[in-house]
Structure 1
Amino acid sequence: MTIAHPVATVAAPVDPASADAPQVLHWPGRSLLVQRGDTELVALDLDAAAAGGRLAEVRFPAPWQRRFGSVTVSPEGEAAVFAGVHAVRSREATGATRWEVRHGCWEGESSHRHTSFAEYADDADHCYADGGSAAVSADGKLVWAHVRGPLGDDVEAEPDQELWLVLDAADGRVLGRADTMTVASGSEHTPHPDPAQMGLSVGEGEEGSPVLWGRWDGQRLTAEQFDVERILLAVSPSGRHLLTVPLGQESLSLHRVGDGSALRELDARGTVTAYPGNTGRNRVCWDYEAAFVNEDTVVAGTSASEAPNGTAHHWLVDVHGMTLRGEISYPFPVSGPPRSAGDGTWYTVSEDRTCLHLWRPSDEG
């Protein structure tokens, strides 16, 4: 059994009644706690928290309410990038807009455009629009964004075409673009330690869940589809391997980044122990989130299938053989899946979403 050693507990900076749960964004040598509230995004320096120092806090005024999109932050915390229904916008903590890239509206089957959020702020349909996402590269110089075309006055994009963009983080210039050939209800980026590479999971509802891998050579963006029914969970610290789970959550798979080929997998059934009281009607399955602790080990959970029991179980997996090392023991009960925090750590969020706990493995018995 592996003992989880507490690294730090950080209070959520925004009241959970009016905010999303806190989460961690991390890049090599850098990690931030971010929390999106109704009117602002807050970023805290987690490296300072792990060292026991004072937390540096940055607050970014939001250009629209949180139900109208997603958000990310640059590694140094100097800019927030809001991926909205009609535009991707970069903002500074002062509230000043660095740049904005307008694109086709995510609401409805037919592509249309807006010049501002005010045009649909009170429209109920736009509250439940489909959406894309954005991520900032490890060096902070690029923004990768999944959007619906066309862009601004662009005539290149076909109607309802979805695009993957590489943008200059400083001024928002479109450096590269690729057709994702997807029909998204939502998406999520998974950064790679190499700024010129990025992963993208696109949820298409009942139609599938493509995993795309992007490469930027300085002149051209290429996007390769690795799988159509899996979700990308994490990238290993070296950047050589990917971890995925299928929509049915029955197995964890390790893939080679170079070509996306599956190297080995670990089935949940017959491997992890069902929660007490499970009669067999509720199958045990892996969560949609997991974390590389290092190049050799992964922390994965089965918390979603254990929800009726109210207790989350997490497991340490050896990726060389995709074998189970054993269950992780915590000093107190945790909730939800383990999520990657970088630098050999993972995190959990308290059930009431008021704090975030950072962990690293201790002695194994």
Structure 2
Amino acid sequence: MDFVARLIGSPSVPGVRALLEGSVFESGGHEQRRVLLKHGAELAVHDRAALLAGERAPETVFPLPWPGWDRGVHSVSPDSTFAVFSGQRSVRAVAADGGTLWSYVHGCWNQEVGHAHTGDEQQVCRGNASGSCRVSDDGRLVWAHVVDSEEYGEHWVVLDARDGRELARWELDSAASGSWHTSHPDGVHMGLCVGMGQDGALVYWGRWDGETLAVHDELNEGLDRVLADVHPNHPGFLTIEHNLNDLQMHALDGTLLAERRELPWDWCCGFLDGDTVLATTGIEFSSDPEETGTWLLDARTLEIRGRVTYPPGTVDSVARPLGDGTWLTHEHATETVRRWTL
């Protein structure tokens, strides 16, 4: 069965490719009301609805604390009063005027054991690894993926958002090239996906109850699952196999709930709404028109409901579902984003 896509907007947005990455959307779990975009030495906080309606002016702008550091995934508090930056050697909370609120120092993401630092923390060392951080949806915690200062192992830490004090930590079995956090809509759990390049990926779900940090890492035996999205209404979450061979739905403890193979899936997929998964195939790795397209799947069983058809010549990219019944594509040659619904 075919489903017809209806165009509802075509705003021109600087840094358009970032809008197809889940890490730029923040706030309220799956609601994703804000978009965080880096522009030069600044992190711009946009209201998602306004940005997609063509409003380029951000609501708030935070200066990046480290000249020359262009890696890491950063976060902003729910009330936009402070941002938390994942740096090469620290996690730093910054006010809108650029003032440092606190700094949590960790090892260097350079990953060259024993290398010397010259100068202060402003120096950026060579290397291509980085971590990430995320302010919890209630604004009380900061979750951060960091490197240990002594052993150079990686840890997942929970910090007090008021002063950066470490509340808990969990040792990870990762050697990251990068990572990102996903806030669960239950307001309690935080997801972490660690990408390790050709070595695979790891998925963790954590919960801090004020005394104990509990972490689910049951999916990581094969090093082959990438966290794609979390369901807006129940604890399930969606992953894609590292080599793009299948999509899977899981419970928070890693239990497999559903699986879909058959097609050459692309990296960009997620929940169109509570009942539907939207996924693309063949954009990255197939030239077969029968294998290339946008597909609708049942959100619980991953059974294929049908294929989405677009007006001729309008789409040549993967699709990013927004969870509200709409999704984004973009033109490779321009800064134009297209927003669609069924």
Offset, 1:8: 3.9
Q: Name stretches of at least 5 consecutive residues in structure 1 with no aligned partner.
A: 151-157, 270-284
- Gap change, CA 1:322 and 1:37, over 3 Å in 2: same
Offset, 1:129: 2.9
Offset, 1:293: 1.5
Cα separation, 2, equivalents of 1:168 and 1:344 = 35
Q: How does 1:157-172 map to 2 (within 5 A)?
A: 159-172=151-164
Q: Is this contact kept in 2: 1:7–1:50, CA < 8 A?
A: no
Normalising by structure 2, we get a TM-score of 0.84
Cα separation, 2, equivalents of 1:355 and 1:266 = 32
Offset, 1:30: 4.9
Cα separation, 1, equivalents of 2:33 and 2:331 = 19
Cα separation, 2, equivalents of 1:307 and 1:60 = 42
Q: How does 1:246-261 map to 2 (within 5 A)?
A: 246-257=241-252, 259-261=253-255
Cα separation, 2, equivalents of 1:159 and 1:268 = 43
Aligned length: 328
Q: Which residue of the partner structure matches residue 213 of structure 2?
A: 221
Q: Is this contact kept in 1: 2:144–2:158, CA < 8 A?
A: yes
Q: How does 1:283-294 map to 2 (within 5 A)?
A: 285-294=264-273
Cα separation, 2, equivalents of 1:356 and 1:249 = 25
Cα separation, 1, equivalents of 2:82 and 2:287 = 37
Q: Which residue of the partner structure matches residue 276 of structure 1?
A: none
Normalising by structure 1, we get a TM-score of 0.79
Q: Which residue of the partner structure matches residue 37 of structure 1?
A: 39
Q: Which residue of the partner structure matches residue 243 of structure 1?
A: 238
Q: Which residue of the partner structure matches residue 86 of structure 1?
A: 89
**What SS does structure 1 have at the residue aligned with 2:145?**
strand
Cα separation, 2, equivalents of 1:207 and 1:90 = 32
Q: Name stretches of at least 5 consecutive residues in structure 2 with no aligned partner.
A: none
Cα separation, 2, equivalents of 1:192 and 1:249 = 24
User: Deviations for 1:162-212, whole angstroms, at most 9, x for unmatched residues?
Assistant: 110112223322222111122222212222113321111112234332211
**Structure 2 residue identity aligned to 1:165:** V
Cα separation, 2, equivalents of 1:53 and 1:86 = 35
Work out which of the residue numbers 297, 300, 305 in structure 2 matches 1:325: 305
Q: How does 1:125-274 map to 2 (within 5 A)?
A: 126=126, 128-150=127-149, 159-227=151-219, 228-257=223-252, 259-269=253-263
Q: Which residue of the partner structure matches residue 278 of structure 1?
A: none
Is structure 2 residue 63 aligned with structure 1 residue 61?
A: yes
Note the aligned Cα RMSD (angstroms).
Answer: 2.9
**Structure 1 residue identity aligned to 2:5:** A
Cα separation, 2, equivalents of 1:352 and 1:319 = 33
Cα separation, 2, equivalents of 1:298 and 1:219 = 36
Q: Is this contact kept in 1: 2:206–2:215, CA < 8 A?
A: yes
Quote the sequence identity (%).
Answer: 37
- Gap change, CA 1:353 and 1:196, over 3 Å in 2: farther
- Gap change, CA 1:174 and 1:295, over 3 Å in 2: same
